[in-house]
Structure 1
């Protein structure tokens, strides 16, 4: 700033902007306001299952991305995502490809994982031999990250869902799609 070079004791360390932790996960960047929580713990947990995927090669596809307005409390939307009991009754297409009876849920600090197994889906992950799920027909890995993000990994890529409360009974859910293998879309 002009005529500011004579200011005494400036800049001091307390005059600098605060630096927040920044984590990169493939094409995604995450910043955190709470320094006691390291998002790296979540991405490390995800990599245990999806680490074989070339996440850095996933490309944003805005034509597949979409926002939805949900007339419900944001936590109710998350609760619906976390319980799978409604799938056979509400999601006919999803139920047709998932083997609902064998799906599995695992819980961790700050996130959980729902594994979508299938007997008949057209596309499943080509899992490496050393993978924990090798030999199983996995069609999706669904990660919910507390409090409002979902990372849905499919053989074609990733759908990130961000749940944003608008008011007490309205929620905006943004589906943001990153494609790895477009030949597997819509299968």
Structure 2
């Protein structure tokens, strides 16, 4: 993910998806039968039914019931170091612009001009002095207030100071920037206990952004999340990763809004060395993969009922010596190998779910407790959407 230097945001780098509309209540009740939404005990739990991964109505429901009601990771503070630095993203179809508005503030605005809904920015950038819609040139300050509108000076009762970009909540944690576009749990509850588990020696805010790798995967976003949430498949799907981890000591634990997997890690000094592999899942679609000297964040972005995009952002502790650069190169290659293996199995699973052969399967209580935890949160979100 490269930065583009502009004094104003007049960027042209592609289009964004249409925001999914909430399903009519009748359609939702047809899709979500009471038996599939009832809470399940782990020892007897079944997976979510296949239609939750394949029905064309699911993207709209997931957008309104889950993504729009959650905290979403958007970037790392190291990407917003200077005033005017900004990133663009989208949550549940809503385009967003996150910008450092002054030395002490980061704000998140709807990336939709108040004039005719044009895009203000389409790419990340640095050092913007103001925010200019590339459709008609309406220009906003970094505080989101309209500063200029070409040829609108004689328009009756038109006061630019009364017009501002809608703003959403921002929370900074461990150097990571999260936003919420709607109802979301209190952030302290969302990450409760993680700081203590990480400890001072692995404070994530000390890491620096390195690069982004994006994968388009032909599966529903929940298939990818399910796959992430268990180490049950590691011996079968990831022989290279399995050689570094101690599967017998691989443990998965759950909290209110997240789960985490951890295992002793042994690798050569030119990769990670020895220590601990720690994998956090923050509901509903954020992952933090923490290995010695490296943080990797994943965002799983729905792109349709049977498509998702997974954005991998790599962060490393500050070091530019040849040894550190060599370790990074090896880490990136190893990450690509593991991801290619995950993409293949997730796409295979999506085909199985769509085949008509499968409805739901029994979960392994020992190895798939985090999958059950995620499915219970999804069921709860769907139940709440019917109220």
Which TM class, normalised by the smaller chain length? 0.7 to 0.9
Structure 2 equivalent of residue 61 of structure 1 = 210
Structure 1: distance between partners of 2:209 and 2:188: 22
Secondary structure of the corresponding residue to residue 72 of structure 1: coil
**Conservation of the 8 A alpha-carbon contact between 2:220 and 2:308:** yes
Q: What count of residue pairs does the alignment treat as equivalent?
A: 167
* Between structures 1 and 2, the one with greater helix share: 2
Pairing 1:28-67 to 2, within 5 Å after superposition: 28-52=176-200, 53-62=202-211, 65-67=212-214
1:48-75 Cα offsets, whole Å, 9 max, x none, are: 221322322210001xx31011111110
TM value normalised by structure 2: 0.39
- The CA distance in 1 between the partners of 2:184 and 2:302, in whole Å, is 24
Q: Distance in 1 between matches of 2:176 and 2:154?
A: 41
Structure that is richer in strand per residue: 1
Q: Which of 170, 181, 189 is residue 22 of structure 1 equivalent to?
A: 170
2:261 counterpart of 1:114: yes
- Structure 1 residue 124 corresponds to structure 2 residue 274: yes
Give the match's secondary structure for 1:97: coil
Equivalent of residue 175 in structure 1, options 312, 325, 331: 312
Gaps of 5+ in 1: 126-137
Q: Which has the larger radius of gyration?
A: 2
CA drift of 1:180 comes to 1.2
Partner of 1:151: 288
Structure 1's consecutive aligned runs of 4 or more residues displaced over 4 angstroms after TM superposition are: 1-4, 15-19
Deviations 1:117-141 (A, max 9, x none): 23x333234xxxxxxxxxxxx2x11
- 8 Å CA contact 2:172–2:178 kept in 1: the answer is yes
1:73 partnered with 2:210: no
TM-score by length of 1: 0.76
- Segments of structure 2 that go 5 or more residues without pairing to the other structure are 1-147, 332-387
Partner of 1:93: 240
Question: What is the alpha-carbon root mean square deviation over aligned residues?
Answer: 2.7
Indicate conservation of the 8 Å contact 1:42/1:111, yes or no: yes
Q: Distance in 2 between matches of 1:114 and 1:178?
A: 20
